[in-house]
Amino acid sequence: MISLHGVLIPAATPFDPVTGDVDRVALRANLRSWLAHPVRGMVMGGSTGEAVFLDDAERLALLEDAREVVPSDRLLVAGTGAESTRATIQRTLDAAERGADAVLVQPPAFYRSAMTPERLRVHYLALADASPIPVILYQVPLRFSTLEFETGLVVELAGHENIVGMKDSRGSLELLGEIARSAPSDFQLLVGTGARLFAALNMGAVGGILGVANLAPAESAGIVRAASEGDAATAGRLQEQVAPLHDGIVGAFGVAGVKRAMDLLGMRGGAPRPPLAPLGAEAEGKVRRLLEEAGLLLA
């Protein structure tokens, strides 16, 4: 069992503007910047990291770089989901070999109508049996090309000793609470919606994997810390600071917004990998204004 309590950052992946290759030097610089704050750890190969655009060699290179930078007292989580059970298991074994502490695994969804709860149960139990490191279920945002876990299936999978938690990015506190009430007490729930972190903690979540934490790591982690200390006033204040960044940048502009905001904050975001487009001038103005209003960027 590992503790997922706190905020993990799904690291954005910087690309060289000339070659289009992963910029591993820039990634290391970003990791050091994020880890200067009290975050629980890093997720490599997540949605914010444009994982669907990375080949397996790039995924492993990112993991190797991250493991050299992320200290042993922080978590390194690898996104390893694939469309076949075989490929998912292989990615998971490769990630464990390169030092990942756990894996975050979205459901296979290309053959969506065939992915019944029974087929998903077989898929995840096979993975959990084969994985040498803990497995975290990943409920991908429903606006993406994905499917939705039934609560009963999540509760059943939570009974496996190697399935330790779930990242739920649906943004529904009702559904989150339903799982929290029904799953084993040691099943750890994480949210992916930075605007509702404090509320989710009150519903039974232990933390989050938050795209907005690429921009506001200290503030995001501070919500969990304040809440755990019973300081609702501070947690609420920080939530009010973070929520507009999630809604106005992460939710509104996705990866392109996160990466442009990183550039404005002195980090190395860069453009997304095609076919995603970089942020336009009007949208960039909105991102800049939101960062200024949050106190993260001087006007």
What confidence score (pLDDT) does residue 90 get? 98
Q: Of all residues in the chain, what percent carry a pLDDT higher than 70?
A: 100
pLDDT the model gives residue 144: 86
pLDDT at 255 (0 to 100) = 98
Residue 11 and residue 211: Cα distance in Å, rounded?
A: 8
pLDDT for the residue 139? 95
Average pLDDT over residues 194-198: 97
CA distance 133 to 220: 26
Mean pLDDT computed over 76-100: 98
What does the pLDDT average to over 84-102? 98
Angle among Cα 53, 274, 217 to the nearest 5 degrees reads 65
What does each C-alpha distance from 226 to 3, 86, 209 come to in angstroms? 18, 42, 17
As a whole number of angstroms, the distance between CA 219 and CA 231 comes to 14
Q: Is 167 a residue of the active site?
A: yes
pTM of the model: 0.97
142-165 pLDDT per residue, tens: 888 789 999 999 999 999 999 999
3-state SS record for 126-191: HHHHHCCCCEEEEECCCCCCCCCCCHHHHHHHHCCCCEEEEEECCCCHHHHHHHHHHCCCCCEEEE
Q: Which domains does the chain have, with CATH numbers?
A: 6-229 (3.20.20.70)
How many alpha carbons fall within 13 Å on the CB side of residue 134?
A: 20
Q: For residues 214-226, give the mean pLDDT.
A: 98
Torsion of CA 166, 24, 98, 250, to 10 degrees: 0
Under DSSP, is residue 14 helix (H, G, I), strand (E, B) or coil? coil
Average pLDDT over residues 130-134: 98
Q: Residue 163's beta-bridge partner residues? A: 135
Tokens of 224: 């969990």
Give residue-wise pLDDT tens across range 241-254: 999 999 999 999 99
Q: pLDDT value at position 142?
A: 84
pLDDT for 143: 84
* Phi (first) and psi of residue 116, to 5 degrees: -70, 165
Give the separation between CA 4 and CA 133, rounded to whole angstroms. Answer: 14
Which position among 91, 167, 259, 260 bears the catalytic label? 167
101-113 per-position pLDDT tens digit: 999 999 999 999 9
